[in-house]
Amino acid sequence: ATPEQTEAARRGAFSSRRVFILAAIGSAVGLGNIWRFPYVAYENGGGAFILPYLIALLTAGIPFLFLDYALGHRNRGSAPLSFARLRKGTEFLGWWQVGICAIIAIYYAAIIGWSMRYMFFSVDKAWGSDPEKFFGGEFLSAADPSAGVTFDFVPGILVPLLVVWVVVIAIMALGVQKGVGATSVIFIPVLLLAFVALVVQALLLPGATEGLNALFTPNWSALKDTAVWAAAFGQIFFSLSIGFGIMITYSSYVGRRTDMTGSGLVVGFANSGFELLCGIGVFSALGFMAQASGVQVGDVASGGIGLAFIAFPAIISQAPAGGLIGVLFFASLILAGLTSLVSILEVVISAVRDKFEMSRVGATAVVALPIAVVSVLLFSTTSALTVLDIMDNFINKFGILLVAVVSMLVIAWALRALPALARHLNRYGSIPVRGWWVALISVVTPAVLALILVKELRDTA
Ligand code: PHE
Query: Best substitution site from 239, 277, 278 to test ligand 1's pocket, by max atoms within 8 Å of Cβ?
Result: 239
Is residue 244 within 6 Å of ligand 1 at its C-beta? Answer: yes
348 CB less than 6 Å from ligand 1? no
**Is any atom of ligand 1 closer than 6 Å to the C-beta of 344?**
yes
Compute, in angstroms, the gap from residue 38 CA to the centroid of ligand 1: 15
pLDDT mean for each 10 residues of the chain (461 residues)? 92 98 97 94 96 96 97 98 96 95 93 96 96 93 76 86 98 98 98 98 97 97 92 90 94 97 98 98 98 96 94 96 97 98 98 97 97 93 84 71 90 96 98 96 92 80 64
Q: Ligand 1: which of 37, 195, 340, 396 to mutate, most ligand atoms within 8 Å of CB? A: 340
In the reported structure, the alpha carbon of residue 130 is separated from the centroid of ligand 1 by a whole-number distance in angstroms of 30
Atom of ligand 1 nearest to the CA of 37: 4
Q: What is the pLDDT of residue 461?
A: 64
- Output Rg (C-alpha) for the chain, integer angstroms: 22
Q: Residue with the nearest Cα to atom 10 of ligand 1?
A: 340
Q: Is 31 in the pocket of ligand 1 (CB under 6 A)?
A: yes
User: With contact defined as beta carbons under 8 Å apart, do 8 and 76 qualify?
Assistant: no
262's CB contacts (< 8 A; 6+ apart) are: 429, 430, 431
Amino acid 382: pLDDT: 84
* b/e 354-387 (16+ beta carbons within 10 angstroms → b): bbeebebeebbbebbeebbeebbebbbbbbbbbb
- Quote the ligand 1 centre to 98 CA distance (angstroms): 14
In short, whether 340's Cβ falls inside 6 Å of ligand 1 is: yes
Report the sign of the C-alpha dihedral through residues 63, 228, 400, 278, in that order. Answer: negative
32 CB less than 6 Å from ligand 1? yes
Q: Residue 318: what are its φ and ψ, rounded to 5°?
A: -100, -25
Q: Count Cβ atoms within 10 A of the Cβ of residue 218 and give its class: 0-12 exposed, 13-18 middle, 19 or more buried.
A: middle
For ligand 1, whether the C-beta of 239 sits within 6 Å is yes
Give domain limits for the chain.
3-460
**Ligand 1, atom 8, residue with closest C-alpha:** 340
Q: Is the minimum distance from the CB of 250 to ligand 1 under 6 angstroms?
A: no
Gap between the Cα atoms of 405 and 398, Å rounded: 12
- Side chain identity, residue 360: R
| Residue type, position 211, single letter | G
Q: Is 30 in the pocket of ligand 1 (CB under 6 A)?
A: yes
CA angle 442, 447, 451 (to 5 degrees): 160
Measure 245 CA to ligand 1 centroid, in angstroms.
12
Cβ–Cβ < 8 Å for 211, 285:
yes
d(CA 161, CA 113): 5
Which of ligand 1's atoms lies nearest the C-alpha of 240?
A: 1
How far is the centre of ligand 1, averaged over its atoms, from the C-alpha of 105 (Å)?
Answer: 10
Distances (CA, A) of 91 to 63, 82, 94, 97, 410: 22, 8, 5, 10, 12
- The rounded Å distance from CA 28 to ligand 1 centre is 6
Ligand 1 midpoint to CA 208 (Å): 28
The CATH number corresponding to 3-460 among 1.10.4160, 1.10.3470, 3.10.20, 2.60.40 equals 1.10.4160
Task: Please give the pLDDT value at position 238.
Answer: 87
Pocket test residue of 241, 244, 305, 371 for ligand 1, highest count of atoms within 8 A of CB: 241
Q: What are phi and psi of 381, to 5 degrees?
A: -110, 175
Q: Which of 238, 249, 345 to mutate to test the pocket of ligand 1 (most atoms within 8 A of CB)?
A: 238
Q: For residue 218, which of 208, 228, 227, 226 has the smallest C-alpha distance? A: 228
Q: Is 157 in the pocket of ligand 1 (CB under 6 A)?
A: no
**Nearest atom in ligand 1 to 241's CA:** 1
Q: What pLDDT, on the 0 to 100 scale, is given for residue 459?
A: 76
**How many Cα atoms sit within 13 Å of 206 on the Cβ side?**
7
Residue to mutate (ligand 1; options 25, 27, 237; most atoms within 8 A of CB): 27
Gap from CA of 32 to ligand 1 centroid (Å): 6
Rounded Cα distance, 53 and 73, in Å: 27
DSSP state of 48: G
